[in-house]
């Protein structure tokens, strides 16, 4: 490996009073060490206040650096410590790395590059010959840096959704911007406080500027929004597909009950027909369409419930709140008089939340972007496999989907893997 000391000074971005004194290498192990020294006659300053201070002692420090000529490289230096009258014993700052880390900023930048393209944290750790924890910590630092750099912006529509962290009822709340397709906030659980944590980061101007908050029919999210957002009752919009799920569940429950009754009579008319009743006709196979044509002409209770469901799908295209209200009142009247308990239960839920459904129609918003974001988050979960807690998972979401400026000062995406 042939690299001059002058080249190393430049690569590390160092100048007087620091200088590279020598480089050692082990060809068998393909490892190199860059030794850096500090001029003894130079002034020492406190890293906290900048005042000139007397020297105290030196500490040997080692940092992982970017590979040079395919050699795994470390920077080694005896770093001076000073004694400040105000701040006590402090280690002098070095120009190639931040305080209290064991890697150079150049290495940090190349790892961020790696993470952008790699399939997992483990892949990057193996490639760079360091621990999983070091790579995860670099991801965390980059996210903290990116969040700190975010400027206050006025976001008019937002989407609120939950996504699972692990199996079971273990969730995180994700707030996203449907216009930019980026994640704005991630918080633990799906409580009132979870969503409130996002609103707490907003200024009064940002809260007042919000025009719509698209979400599922979920009490804690509704309550959290009412607490924080002025005029929330006119801005909360319940997602069309979540409403359809409530109604679809009613249809399926009717099918289950009726199927049990028919099977007792030796009839299997409804067996295996769940998705015939629930699938959007645009996405049906030819076989399912043929089945549906035969079944919907019958006197089955399920056919009746299906017709109620289908009518609800025609009510999302109104422009006027008045006409939308009339349409949904007709639907509610039909659903409440149908004598099908599951459909009546769904209708009660719709009636209690009709105000938010009308908001969604008039504002022309849905949680479709949030559902697409959820799919992207599932991809992140695969890439970040091995995350050990919710914060690690949140870091990965911010890293890949937050649209953040992640790199250390003076660096940007290089796509130059060494």
Per-residue pLDDT of 268-320, as tens digits, reads 889 888 988 888 777 777 777 778 887 877 789 999 999 999 999 999 999 99
Same domain, 202 and 228: yes
Give the Cα separation of 309 and 86 in Å (integer): 72
Instruction: Take residue 64 and report the two structure tokens written for it.
Output: 């992982």
pLDDT surpassing 90 at residue 170:
no
Give the largest Cα separation in the chain, rounded. Answer: 100
Same domain, 311 and 248: yes
Same domain, 379 and 342: no
The pLDDT of residue 14: 84
220 falls within a domain: yes
pLDDT cut 70: percent of the chain above it: 96
Mean pLDDT across the chain, nearest whole number?
91
pLDDT surpassing 90 at residue 368:
no
The pLDDT of residue 341: 97
How many structural domains is the chain composed of?
3
Residue for token digits 């919009």?
A: 237
75 falls within a domain: yes
Last-in-domain residue among 334, 363, 392: 363
pLDDT surpassing 70 at residue 177:
yes
- Where residue 333 falls (left for φ over 0; alpha for ψ -120 to 50; beta otherwise) is alpha
165 falls within a domain: yes
The pLDDT of residue 418: 42
Same domain, 225 and 268: no
Split at pLDDT 50, 70, 90, the class of 381 is: confident
Split at pLDDT 50, 70, 90, the class of 248 is: very high
Distances (CA, A) of 147 to 142, 287, 417: 9, 51, 25
Same domain, 271 and 355: yes
The pLDDT of residue 169: 65
pLDDT surpassing 80 at residue 6:
no
Residues 6+ apart with CB under 8 A from 18: 36, 37, 38, 39, 77, 94, 95
The pLDDT of residue 415: 43
148 falls within a domain: no
Mapping DSSP onto H, E and C, the string for the chain reads: CCCCHHHHHHHHCCCCCEEEEEEEEECCCCEEEEEEEECCCCCCECCCCCCECCEEEEEEEEEEEEEECCEEEEEEEEEEEEEECCCEEEECCCCCCCCCCCECHHHHHHHHHHHHHCCCHHHHHHHHCCCHHHHHHHHHHHHHHHHHHCCCCCCCEEEEEEEEEECCCEEEEEEEECCCCEEEEEEECCCHHHHHHHHCCCCHHHHHHCCEEEECCCHHHHHHHHHHCCCHHHCEEECHHHHHHHHHHHHHHHHHHHHHHHHHCCCCCCCCCHHHHHCCHHHCCHHHHHHHHHHCCCCCHHHHHHHHHHHHHHHCCCCCHHHHHHHHHHHHHHHHCCCCHHHHHHHHHHHHCHHHHHHHHHHCCCCHHHHHHHHHHHHHHHHCCCCCCHHHHHHHHHHHHCCCCCCCCCCCCCCCCC
What does DSSP say about strands 88-91 and 31-38: parallel, antiparallel, or unpaired?
unpaired
pLDDT cut 90: percent of the chain above it: 72
The pLDDT of residue 416: 40
Give the Cα separation of 38 and 319 in Å (integer): 72
Same domain, 266 and 214: no
The pLDDT of residue 417: 44
Per-residue pLDDT of 112-161, as tens digits, reads 999 998 888 899 999 999 999 999 999 999 999 999 999 988 899 999 99
Q: What CATH number has the domain bearing residue 193?
A: 3.30.420.10
Per-residue pLDDT of 191-247, as tens digits, reads 999 999 999 999 999 999 999 999 999 999 999 999 999 999 999 999 899 999 999
The pLDDT of residue 7: 73
Same domain, 162 and 220: yes
Instruction: Take residue 333 and report the two structure tokens written for it.
Output: 């009247």
The pLDDT of residue 72: 94
Same domain, 261 and 339: yes
Same domain, 276 and 168: no
Residue for token digits 């007792």?
A: 264
Same domain, 80 and 59: yes
pLDDT surpassing 80 at residue 330:
yes
402 falls within a domain: no
The dihedrals phi and psi of 275, each to the nearest 5 degrees, come to -80, -10
Split at pLDDT 50, 70, 90, the class of 413 is: low
Same domain, 227 and 246: no
| Domain boundaries, position 228 | 157-238+367-383
116 falls within a domain: no
Split at pLDDT 50, 70, 90, the class of 60 is: very high
207 falls within a domain: yes
Same domain, 233 and 372: yes
Split at pLDDT 50, 70, 90, the class of 356 is: very high
- Where residue 49 falls (left for φ over 0; alpha for ψ -120 to 50; beta otherwise) is alpha
Residue 31: closest CA among 63, 1, 61? 1
Q: What mean pLDDT do residues 76-91 have?
A: 96
pLDDT surpassing 60 at residue 168:
yes
378 falls within a domain: yes
């Amino acid at each position: 490996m042939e690299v001059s000391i002058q080249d190393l000074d430049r690569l590390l971005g160092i100048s007087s009073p620091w200088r590279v004194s020598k480089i050692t290498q082990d060809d068998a192990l393909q490892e190199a060490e860059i030794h850096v020294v500090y001029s003894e006659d130079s002034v020492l300053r406190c890293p906290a206040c900048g005042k000139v201070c007397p020297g105290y002692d030196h500490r040997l420090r080692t940092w992982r650096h970017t590979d040079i000529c395919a050699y795994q490289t470390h920077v080694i230096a005896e770093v001076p410590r000073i004694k400040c009258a105000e701040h006590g014993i402090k280690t002098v700052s070095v120009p190639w790395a931040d305080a209290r880390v064991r890697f150079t900023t150049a290495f940090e930048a190349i790892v961020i590059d790696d993470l952008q393209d790699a399939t997992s944290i483990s892949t990057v750790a193996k490639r760079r010959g360091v621990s999983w924890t070091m790579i995860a910590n670099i991801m965390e630092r980059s996210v903290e840096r990116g969040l700190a750099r975010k400027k206050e912006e006025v976001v008019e529509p937002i989407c609120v959704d939950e996504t699972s962290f692990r199996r079971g009822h273990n969730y995180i709340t994700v707030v996203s911007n449907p216009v930019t397709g980026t994640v704005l906030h991630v918080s633990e659980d799906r409580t009132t406080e979870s969503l409130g944590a996002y609103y707490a980061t907003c200024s009064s101007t940002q809260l007042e500027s919000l025009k719509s908050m698209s979400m599922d029919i979920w009490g804690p999210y509704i309550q959290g929004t009412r607490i924080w957002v002025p005029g929330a009752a006119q801005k909360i919009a319940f997602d069309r597909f979540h409403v359809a799920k409530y109604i679809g569940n009613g249809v399926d429950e009717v099918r289950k009950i009726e199927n049990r009754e028919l099977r007792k009579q030796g009839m299997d008319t409804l067996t295996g027909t769940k998705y015939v009743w629930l699938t959007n006709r645009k996405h049906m196979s030819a076989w399912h369409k043929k089945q549906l044509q035969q079944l919907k002409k019958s006197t089955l209770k399920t056919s009746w419930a299906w017709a109620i469901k289908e009518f609800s799908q025609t009510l999302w295209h109104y422009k006027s709140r008045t006409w939308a209200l009339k349409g949904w009142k007709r639907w509610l009247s039909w659903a409440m008089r149908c004598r099908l308990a599951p459909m009546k239960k769904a209708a009660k839920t719709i009636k209690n939340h009709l105000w938010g459904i009308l908001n969604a129609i008039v504002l022309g918003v849905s949680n479709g972007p949030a559902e697409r974001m959820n799919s992207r988050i599932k991809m992140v979960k695969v890439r970040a496999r091995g995350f050990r807690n919710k914060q690690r998972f949140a870091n990965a979401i911010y890293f890949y989907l937050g649209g953040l400026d992640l790199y250390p000062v003076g660096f940007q995406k290089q796509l130059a893997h060494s």
